[in-house]
Amino acid sequence: EVRRPDTAARRPYDSAMVPAVVASVHPGVSWSRYEGDYPWIPQSATLKASASGTAASVDGIPPAQGTEGLLVVTGYIRVPESGFYTFYLRSATKAFLRLHDAQLIDEDHGYTPGTERQASIPLEAGLHPYRFYLRLERGVAPDVSIGWSGPGIDKQPLPASVLSYGVK
């Protein structure tokens, strides 16, 4: 589940679908904010959250009141049909998107803010866990655009209707 197709070094399993997971979920996203001056996107497992909660979508997360730090959004994306999906990410600051545990889009190292990066991955229909990291910078609005395309889906913003978070 931590693999992605590599066009430069094709492997026999590159077109194999990443299997969906089974989970009890609620609509929306789960988020945590961590205060600190991070020059890059840090791992958040050992950090203590300064705020956390749930929201209907990434746009519904309360803004950080001018602090520097990290925002981590977690949950599941419901994929309607098996096939290759392309995800698009553009941010005003550094960002990072993981699907399952695979590095999907890295807008941390060498990223020019405001440019769009994309990555494709073969997904089975169903739920796929994701983690989205966004570096918060003082004086910079967290302007983020996450989109997708796939079987029967033209490039569009990732709809809130496909986002959910796990029930604990």
Percent of the chain with pLDDT over 90: 62
> What distance in Å separates the CA atoms of residue 127 and residue 25, rounded to the nearest whole number?
9
Burial classification of residue 35, based on how many CB atoms lie within 10 Å of its CB (0-12 exposed, 13-18 middle, 19 or more buried): middle
Cβ atoms within 10 A of the Cβ of 7, count?
7
Please tell me the predicted confidence (pLDDT) of residue 87: 97
Q: What is the mean pLDDT of the chain?
A: 89
Phi and psi angles of residue 113, each rounded to the nearest 5 degrees, phi first: -50, 140
Task: Give the residue ranges of DSSP H helices in 41-165.
Answer: none
Please tell me the predicted confidence (pLDDT) of residue 143: 85
> What distance in Å separates the CA atoms of residue 121 and residue 76, rounded to the nearest whole number?
15
Rg of the chain over Cα atoms, rounded to whole angstroms, equals 16
Taking only the tens place, the pLDDT of each residue in 76-111 is 999 999 999 999 999 989 999 999 988 999 998 888
